[in-house]
Structure 1
Amino acid sequence: MNKWLLGISTAVLFFSLSVGCSSKPADNLQSPPAETTAKPTTSEPMVLQWSITGEPSTMDAGIATDSTSMDMINLTFEGLTSVDRQGQMINAIAESYTHTPDFTHFTFTIRKDAKWSNGDPVTAHDFEYAIKRNLDPKTASGYAYQLFYIKGGEDFYSGKGKQEDVGVKAKDDYTLDFTLRSPTPFFRELTSFTTYYPLHKKTIESNPQWAAEAKTIVGNGPFVMDTWEHKSKLTFSKSPTYWDTANVKLDQIHIVIIEDNNTALSMFENGDLDWGGYPSFGLSPDAVGQIKEEGKLLVADNPGTKAVIFNTEKPPFTNKKIRQAFSYSINRQQLVDNILQTGVPPAYGWVPVSMGLNPDGYFKEDVAKAKQLLAEGMKELGLTQFPKVTYYYDTGETDKKLAQALQGEWKKTLGVDIDIRTAEWKVFNEDVQNGKYDFGIWLWGADFNDPINFLEMYKDLGGNNVVRFDNKEYRDLLNKSYYETDEQKRKQLMFDAEKILMEEMPLAPLHFRGNAYVKNDKVKDFVIFPLGGSYFKYAYIEK
């Protein structure tokens, strides 16, 4: 789903070539000054009432792969870069940065007023420690591949290199140096992702379970976690040690865990929650339709793709033709019109069209061809009757309705009976990550705004390659793209890779991302990250 995912706004992509320079910190974007709008004077603390749909799997920034955990981590941790109130990328723990003209070497200067929640200074060593720890295969970081842009990172992760050869070095307490494996113009954007966040070494080494309880979490973000009643609620308060505390107006954030989205919407309508819909919780199709009729529906246009994923290691989905048959028989526009109702486009490729690889897509629906492919695939597997398979989805009314619609459509077009089942997000996510499923639903939101982010997860087994896709030609194309400095040639390599992905069809794209919500006007300066997710730092409640 996964992710959440943090990143840059479309205003600063594609490679943010307008910022940085070869040898001086010119054009470095600094954090904005404190707003002139003063927090209302009141004896009562300013409290934001929020909800999430499931338990965070972890508060460890190096391990988290799901959006719920990342939203909570962004309350309590901060990286080298972040965003301002308009979603524009700015420096955060980094005070400034420089890069070489070929984008193979970046140097960040750490601000001297950055503190951990226990009062310790945040230093360049904390970043170096975290990145090398996340690359250690023993850490089992699902996002370790996001660090492979660093020279020696992939070699260390795969056991072919040494930790000391990884190209991230703390030259002193406040100078962090990166040497990259190839030109990476978008590297600064990567540093806003959680896998690049600093970690408090003493905390981690003294307690392996540090990220599971509020009292043991030492962060460096705008808030600290006060309580964590598992599967019930979490509370946060403004951090007294945060370097930019002048821009933090909320005194507290109270977050309840509500699995049923309709219950959460009722609480919002009753004034018990301060936000309705994404990124707090999902709106049901019925709710979307009603809010749309009232003219209040808003849709966050965050790049991402929802797809049916196939476990390619489990028959019958080991067979490419059967996967294609299930994909070609789906009427995507009907799903968008009748269930989603948000106007998002159907998807005929994995990479969002906003990233510019192939706006026309790679395939179209074709029921006759789907029936032929199913028959051919079953013959290749020696099957005379289609086996029992189960479609898996996490709780949520939209995904439930999608599951039911797909179940009916596959029965009608292919003549196959499938079972459907659901589980709460944490269980569902763990099952999918561990290959304990036949096929089901999956959403990927961009971590940074480049096509490689949607393609490289399927380059190697492990990490976020939940479909277990393994293709040498695909892998070779992406490996070449890392070293290609001509942008058009690089784009062609990624186009060719996506074409293979859509031919092999380990996943069947359904629609591109569009997140529905209804805005409560009293909540001000809450930021939905340009690539998706919650950012509470600037938020306040207007009385």
Structure 2
Amino acid sequence: MRKNRGIAAVIAITLMLGLVLTGCGSAGNSSGGGTSAAKEMKMSFAPGGEPKTLDPQMSNGVPEAIMEMALFEGIMRLDKDNVPQLAVADSVEVSPDGLKYTVKLKDSKFSNGDPLTASDFKASWLHALDPAAAAEYAYQLFYIKNAEAYNSKKAKAEDVGINVVDPKTLEITLEAPCPYFKSLLAFPTYFPVDQKNVKANGNWNTEAATFVSNGPFMMKSWSHNDKMVLVKNPNYYDVANVKLSELDFNLVEDGKAATTAFEAGQLDGHDNLVPEDIVRFKKDGTLKQAPQLGTYFYRFNTTRKPLNDPRVRQALTIALNRQDLIDNVFKGGQTPAFAYVPGAIPDATPGKDFRSVGGDFFKEDVAKAKQLLAEAGYPDGKNFPTLTILYNTNGTHQLPAQAIQDYWQKNLGITVKLQGQEWAVYQQSMQGLQYDIVRAGWLGDYIDPMTFLDMFVTNGGNNQTGWSNAAYDKDIDTAKNSADQTVRMQAMHDAEKILMTEMPIMPIYFYVNNYVLKDNIKGVLVLPQGFFDFKNATVQ
């Protein structure tokens, strides 16, 4: 989905990137949209297709995270400046060495009335870490002492640094100081799940009747692949500040269909715009944009020939024209990516950012690409096997795949096929390495290069390329276990250089968040991680 430096720098960058979504104000009323009646303030939004899962410990997609942020609440919650603020916690005290976090919880309940306790947090986090669960985001908890060891079967659950002092007190011990740990405590993987409900309903998160959460909204109904209806959660500790009486998530995958519904007044907003609609909405002033910390890229399955050869991966990467793709296919005002980590993340030196310090790692060069392919044994594409580009159909990913297919045919003389899959199946194919080349995207979970780089460690849950490099793993380990920002940043620059030399991925562009939302919808937070937070949303 998405992922340090000193606290002052964190605040500075989050102030720059955070955004409160506001409009110019016009009264509106749609079948999915708002009315001015205080008791019936409704709105609708399309975050993507049917969720793969709404178990926060098991999900890793942005559409799922948007839904989960409405349904759940963690120890912290991000504010309009992307700065973590106390949520279900009354206090979070950090020891002088930065290793121990003592959390005092508020008196709060789950949507079914069950009390929220420290044990719910511990059990939820251990579920994500359980090797049998195979959670793709387990590594988000590896900051906790012995969490990685437990996940890799080298320690027991009781060795993990999560201690329940009493029902309202949780102690968390880290492996090393982590300046952005409070931001992680606002991330979906760290959300609490009602353990009484889990024990009573094994598949609790698949149907509205058994779905229990602790956030500003609770699930009323879920018509799979169609619509999810959320209503204000009366047991939410801050229910007085929740203005919407109903929040509907339309589970439409097709961006064009979502736009049609928006223009027909059946939908209040969505962020899955097709290129022609981005251009059209930009012209008429309907388009809204927000900073977005993310990279659009392709993964290579490095376990399959000829993609196990770095020269082939490098050739494919430099045989494109990214600016042409942006201007004529994506049409969203994105920035060409010649590295993996996007800009606007502070480096160790105040005033400098990680991307400008690291610079570009490659240049587009068709002649060089042909040379690399010939060195790999495929002069002018001769005897190169037909590969397949896999993409997800809940978006406009077929058009760029076709353009890349054409680039490779024209510039390298190779043929690739295209295959589209719906969101959940596509994610399973990617996780199981059931692909040759696959479209991907990553949005940072917090403002630090680590959120982009730690995913490619050996056997990382979100690596999904089959690639492994011991030197890369060592650099990431160094960055994670040092409190010295200069040491951390250098280690991550070194890691990115390895990644961009061996090229298990092909960066294409750095994101900007293009979306539409009716002007009478106020108070929605649009965060650089790609999240939409509806807790304080209102309809005028």
Q: Same fold (TM over 0.5)?
A: yes
Choose which of 296, 316, 325 in structure 2 pairs with 1:335.
325
Stretch of structure 1 that moved more, 251-260 or 471-480: 251-260
Choose which of 274, 278, 291 in structure 2 pairs with 1:284.
274
Tell me the residue number matched to 1:115.
109
1:58 has 2:53 as partner: yes
The percentage of aligned residue pairs carrying the same residue is: 38
Deviations 1:486-517 (A, max 9, x none): 21121111100000000000001000011212
Tell me the residue number matched to 2:355.
358
What does residue range 115-264 of structure 1 map to in structure 2 within 5 Å?
115-264=109-258
Residues 298 and 505 in structure 2, CA contact (< 8 A), matched pair in contact too: yes
Choose which of 281, 291, 295 in structure 2 pairs with 1:305.
295
Residues 12 and 88 in structure 1, CA contact (< 8 A), matched pair in contact too: no
Q: 1:52 to 1:486 in 2, by over 3 A?
A: closer
Residues 295 and 511 in structure 2, CA contact (< 8 A), matched pair in contact too: yes
Deviations 1:287-315 (A, max 9, x none): 11112222443222110100011011111
What does residue range 336-415 of structure 1 map to in structure 2 within 5 Å?
336-355=326-345, 356-359=353-356, 360-378=359-377, 385-396=383-394, 398-415=396-413
Residue identity in the other structure for 2:73 = E
Residues 326 and 334 in structure 2, CA contact (< 8 A), matched pair in contact too: yes
Unaligned runs of 5+ in 1: 20-38
Shift of 1:14: 3.8
How many residues matched?
A: 511
Q: Which whole-Å CA distance do the structure 2 matches of 1:541 and 1:224 have between them?
A: 19
1:267 has 2:261 as partner: yes
Q: Which whole-Å CA distance do the structure 2 matches of 1:258 and 1:424 have between them?
A: 11
| Structure 2 counterpart SS, 1:354 | coil
Shift of 1:485: 2.1
Shift of 1:523: 0.6
Shift of 1:529: 2.3
Residues 85 and 525 in structure 1, CA contact (< 8 A), matched pair in contact too: no
What does residue range 459-498 of structure 1 map to in structure 2 within 5 Å?
459-498=457-496
Q: Which whole-Å CA distance do the structure 2 matches of 1:397 and 1:481 have between them?
A: 35
Q: 1:133 to 1:13 in 2, by over 3 A?
A: farther
Residue identity in the other structure for 1:522 = N
Deviations 1:205-227 (A, max 9, x none): 23221111111111111111111
Q: 1:84 to 1:384 in 2, by over 3 A?
A: closer
| Structure 2 counterpart SS, 1:308 | strand
Q: Which whole-Å CA distance do the structure 2 matches of 1:86 and 1:473 have between them?
A: 36
Q: Which whole-Å CA distance do the structure 1 matches of 2:396 and 2:354 have between them?
A: 28
Shift of 1:460: 2.1
Choose which of 272, 283, 286 in structure 2 pairs with 1:293.
283
Choose which of 300, 305, 311 in structure 2 pairs with 1:321.
311
Residues 97 and 109 in structure 1, CA contact (< 8 A), matched pair in contact too: yes
Q: Which whole-Å CA distance do the structure 1 matches of 2:264 and 2:139 have between them?
A: 44
Unaligned runs of 5+ in 2: 15-33, 346-352
Deviations 1:436-477 (A, max 9, x none): 111021000011111111111111214111112100010111
Shift of 1:340: 2.4
Shift of 1:91: 0.9
Shift of 1:181: 0.4
Tell me the residue number matched to 2:30.
none
1:435 has 2:433 as partner: yes
| Structure 2 counterpart SS, 1:64 | coil
| Structure 2 counterpart SS, 1:90 | strand
Residue identity in the other structure for 1:430 = Q
**Where in structure 1 do 4 or more consecutive aligned residues deviate above 6 Å?**
10-13
Residues 87 and 527 in structure 1, CA contact (< 8 A), matched pair in contact too: no
1:450 has 2:448 as partner: yes
Residues 39 and 245 in structure 2, CA contact (< 8 A), matched pair in contact too: no
What does residue range 521-536 of structure 1 map to in structure 2 within 5 Å?
521-536=519-534
Residue identity in the other structure for 1:325 = A
CA-based RMSD of the aligned residues comes to 2.3
